[in-house]
């Protein structure tokens, strides 16, 4: 791996400068730069290179728009303009649907429309082709309804359930451990429990609730995320098992008889 003096030499050559001209651009003496890239002469005839200080590095970064990760060996992109940036997340969905009175509808995305949604989420004609309905309970934000596909969230959500998600306006609004519908370029539409690592590591960690299947955790980079929907309610086709009232009564009667026998024996 190249040392930092070699990185600075590469920057000097990239801008077709000599050490003196480079030093003047960043406000230091030519001797300072010469000691960093060539080293100071020692008594034994060798040369000892000086490590650049914080002020020198900051001046280089600011003056030449250098990617800091390049200087420290974490990236091969010298310039910030060459370094991929996390896009600014859109605060509102690209397309919405409204009632004749101007209230926002909930747009329903069934399983069969998932593939089309990835290409048409910002296409007005495609969004208008999806079912939409108004729900007065879901206001103060934009909502989508997604059909659950698969069993990765089993015991929380079942295949065929419908989850209602509120659009997440900012990555900072994500809360660890909550369930979100994540729409991304590479992984499509997934329903997962999310852990936000964007600020410090640039990605989300997604976790399944089904511990019995082969559903390992995985990460999605921030720049791949298209939409995020926080699940606020759901509708399930899984009806709870009916309570057998007669069995409950029989069990209670047995307990009462057992208690009566104990009392009569005393």
Calpha distance 27→35 (Å, rounded): 15
Residue 161's CATH number: 2.10.109.10
For residues 28 and 113, state if they share a domain: no
Domain count along the chain: 2
Q: Range of 169's domain?
A: 106-235
For residues 77 and 154, state if they share a domain: no
Model pLDDT, residue 244: 65
Model pLDDT, residue 27: 94
Q: Does 257 map to a domain?
A: no
Could you tell me the mean pLDDT of each successive run of 10 residues in the chain, 266 residues long?
A: 88 94 94 92 89 92 91 84 60 86 93 91 91 91 95 93 94 94 93 94 94 89 92 89 66 76 71
For residues 203 and 152, state if they share a domain: yes
Model pLDDT, residue 185: 86
Calpha distance 204→184 (Å, rounded): 11
For residues 69 and 132, state if they share a domain: no
Model pLDDT, residue 76: 84
Q: Does 175 map to a domain?
A: yes
Calpha distance 259→118 (Å, rounded): 65
pTM of the prediction?
Answer: 0.61
Burial classification of residue 260, based on how many CB atoms lie within 10 Å of its CB (0-12 exposed, 13-18 middle, 19 or more buried): exposed
Model pLDDT, residue 212: 84
Model pLDDT, residue 266: 61
For residues 60 and 141, state if they share a domain: no
For residues 142 and 217, state if they share a domain: yes
Q: Across-strand partners of 125? A: none
For residues 227 and 111, state if they share a domain: yes
For residues 70 and 143, state if they share a domain: no
Model pLDDT, residue 260: 75
Model pLDDT, residue 84: 54
80-91, pLDDT tens digit by residue?
A: 877 555 555 666
For residues 149 and 44, state if they share a domain: no
6-62, pLDDT tens digit by residue?
A: 999 999 999 999 999 999 999 999 999 999 999 988 888 888 999 999 899 999 999
Q: Does 94 map to a domain?
A: no
Q: Does 195 map to a domain?
A: yes
Helix residue ranges, H only, the chain: 4-14, 19-26, 30-37, 54-64, 68-71, 114-120, 124-129, 198-201, 245-265
Strands 106-109 and 143-147 turn out to be: parallel
Q: Confirm if 86 and 172 have CB atoms less than 8 A apart.
A: no
Model pLDDT, residue 101: 87
Residue 34's CATH number: 1.10.260.40
Q: Does 99 map to a domain?
A: no
For residues 78 and 111, state if they share a domain: no
Model pLDDT, residue 94: 85
Q: Does 247 map to a domain?
A: no
Q: Does 259 map to a domain?
A: no
For residues 211 and 114, state if they share a domain: yes
């Amino acid at each position: 791996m190249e040392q930092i003096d070699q990185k600075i030499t590469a920057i000097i050559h990239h801008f077709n400068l000599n050490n003196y001209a480079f030093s003047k651009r960043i406000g230091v003496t030519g001797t300072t730069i010469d000691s960093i890239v060539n080293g100071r002469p020692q008594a034994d005839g060798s040369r000892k290179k000086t490590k650049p200080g914080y002020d020198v590095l900051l001046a280089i970064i600011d003056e030449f728009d250098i990617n800091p990760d390049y200087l420290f060996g974490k990236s091969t992109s010298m310039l910030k303009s060459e370094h991929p940036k996390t896009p600014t997340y859109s605060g509102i969905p690209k397309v919405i649907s409204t009632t004749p009175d101007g209230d926002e509808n909930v747009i329903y995305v069934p399983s069969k429309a998932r593939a089309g949604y990835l290409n048409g989420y910002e296409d007005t004609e495609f969004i208008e082709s999806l079912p939409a309905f108004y729900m007065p309970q879901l206001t103060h934000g934009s909502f989508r309804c997604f059909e659950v596909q698969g069993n990765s969230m089993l015991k929380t959500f079942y295949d065929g359930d419908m989850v209602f998600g509120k659009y997440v306006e900012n990555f900072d609004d994500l809360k660890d451990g909550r369930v979100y519908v994540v729409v991304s370029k590479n992984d499509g539409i997934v329903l997962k429990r999310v852990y936000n690592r964007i600020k410090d590591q640039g990605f989300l960690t997604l976790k399944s609730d089904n511990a019995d299947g082969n559903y390992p955790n995985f990460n999605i980079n921030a720049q791949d995320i298209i939409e995020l929907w926080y699940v606020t309610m759901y509708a399930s086709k899984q009806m709870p098992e009916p309570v057998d009232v007669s069995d409950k009564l029989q069990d209670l009667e047995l307990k009462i008889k057992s208690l009566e026998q104990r009392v009569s024996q005393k």
